[in-house]
Structure 1
């Protein structure tokens, strides 16, 4: 674990929410480490620190298991963006976003950006099976911090498709259509009391990804990084207008004054 005293202070926070086994941790490893990892369920939470140009962005991975559910609102506190993640082969994982996880975002920033992400697209879409890991050169990696800690009633999700997921074939049945994610995005905006016409369009904020092949993973994170830049700049301006006092420096100045004082 890196020296805490050398850690850079994050300018803004992103949070991944979603049920267990949808691939949140794998998405994060794919983006940060440029490789796919078979991971175990996250306990509590974990975060990575990503340098994006001159800015530092903390990306929080949260546990999807029921016993850690109460920690979600704590991790979402002050978040500038939330990535609501589901499994495209599992209808219930989309329904859980609305039923269990959306209310946790009440502690996020009032202008929080939401992305709806369907992971495991390689299981249902042949174009997502092609690896994109070599499309871009690996960036200099910022050292990752692996600290583990772990309303309003909305219309219900539509009835899930009748045909079950097939585990026998190479390609699995896709239970969640892109239109279902777009519909959920609209309900999220209404839950937050936001005007759909003045908000970011659903087509831009609903992604299908594959942590295994890297499909659309860079596009997801880099789109969000660009969108949270106004939040970063506003926060920095507020800090400049209301500077904080470093007590250690203040004490050091006082000690020097005391030593130079006349008897």
Structure 2
């Protein structure tokens, strides 16, 4: 039974070019800290418990040699986070040129988010971590929330210390408007009606894995958005329960032994 309880209800996948910070985003959210990472080989995943639900979050490699694995990781995905570096225009272009086609194996109702990471390099306000509702984080309240076992939302990530920030602002090559325009092209590529789809303001984010800026808001928004997929999947499983092959084979062998005498 414990193994069955840990089976993921839905899958969420991060796609994007190498060095845009996909792995760092996951570590910041799951482990509540920033650390330098090496390029992901193939793919890796975390299992996140969201209330009574289990969500698998897949981190994929951005290197060209692992590109073919992306469609396999996207198979059956309920949400895809397309990640770019706000200081690198090419990383946004790569999402459309290399990675979008990989999502053809995702669910037909898959949710797409466009996320510009490394915002702390271009925007001073990204030096402050934000809670999932967009408010500045309160460290004291955070500690109090940890004592409440029923709180579903994870405690907002702590901001980086001022000493860890270089203070040097880089040129921002990708604007929020560029990300919104890409989202519109993705909807057209998928043959989705923009009026009936999620608005860009809901799924276009700028984040900083280093400071924690908007990281909680990103993941918790996506978890809320895939909830209908989780409920639908559970309903379908109740209507068409899976067959335990071991029990089925055991019953078949017992019948065979009875019939042979």
Same fold by TM-score greater than 0.5: yes
Q: Which residue of 1 aligns with 2:158?
A: none
Alpha-carbon distance in structure 1 between the residues aligned to 2:4 and 2:226: 25
Residues 255, 53 of structure 1: CA spacing in aligned structure 2 closer, same or farther, 3 A cutoff?
A: same
Note if 1:112 corresponds to 2:110: yes
Deviation at 1:253, TM superposition (A): 5.5
Note if 1:97 corresponds to 2:95: yes
Alpha-carbon distance in structure 2 between the residues aligned to 1:244 and 1:188: 35
Counterpart of 1:17 in 2: which secondary structure?
A: strand
1:240-255 equivalence runs, <5 A: 240-251=238-249
Counterpart of 1:179 in 2: which secondary structure?
A: helix
Q: Which residue of 1 aligns with 2:65?
A: 67
Residues 180-216 of structure 1, C-alpha deviations (whole Å, 9 max, x = no match): 0000000000000000011000111100000011100
C-alpha RMSD of matched pairs (Å): 2.5
Alpha-carbon distance in structure 1 between the residues aligned to 2:102 and 2:115: 17
Deviation at 1:248, TM superposition (A): 2.3
Note if 1:19 corresponds to 2:17: yes
Residues 195, 127 of structure 1: CA spacing in aligned structure 2 closer, same or farther, 3 A cutoff?
A: same
Q: Which residue of 1 aligns with 2:193?
A: 195
1:26-175 equivalence runs, <5 A: 26-131=24-129, 134=139, 136-137=142-143, 170-175=168-173
Deviation at 1:13, TM superposition (A): 0.2
Deviation at 1:247, TM superposition (A): 2.2
Alpha-carbon distance in structure 1 between the residues aligned to 2:221 and 2:255: 51
Residues 215-245 of structure 1, C-alpha deviations (whole Å, 9 max, x = no match): 0000000101011011111111111111111
Stretches of structure 2 lacking an aligned partner (at least 5 in a row): 131-136, 150-165
Output the TM-score relative to the length of structure 2: 0.82
Counterpart of 1:173 in 2: which secondary structure?
A: coil
Counterpart of 2:11 in 1: which secondary structure?
A: strand
Report which of the two has the higher share of helix. 2
For the Cα contact (< 8 Å) 2:11–2:57, is it kept in 1? yes
Q: Which of 160, 174, 179 is the matching residue for 1:181?
A: 179
Deviation at 1:70, TM superposition (A): 0.4
Deviation at 1:118, TM superposition (A): 0.2
Deviation at 1:83, TM superposition (A): 0.1
Counterpart of 1:118 in 2: which secondary structure?
A: strand
Residues 252, 99 of structure 1: CA spacing in aligned structure 2 closer, same or farther, 3 A cutoff?
A: same
Q: Which runs of 4+ in 1 moved over 6 A?
A: 254-261
Alpha-carbon distance in structure 2 between the residues aligned to 1:6 and 1:113: 26
For the Cα contact (< 8 Å) 2:129–2:214, is it kept in 1? no
Alpha-carbon distance in structure 1 between the residues aligned to 2:218 and 2:77: 17
Note if 1:226 corresponds to 2:224: yes
Residues 92-148 of structure 1, C-alpha deviations (whole Å, 9 max, x = no match): 0000000100000000000000000000000111111124584745868xxxxxxxx
Output the TM-score relative to the length of structure 1: 0.81
For the Cα contact (< 8 Å) 2:10–2:230, is it kept in 1? yes
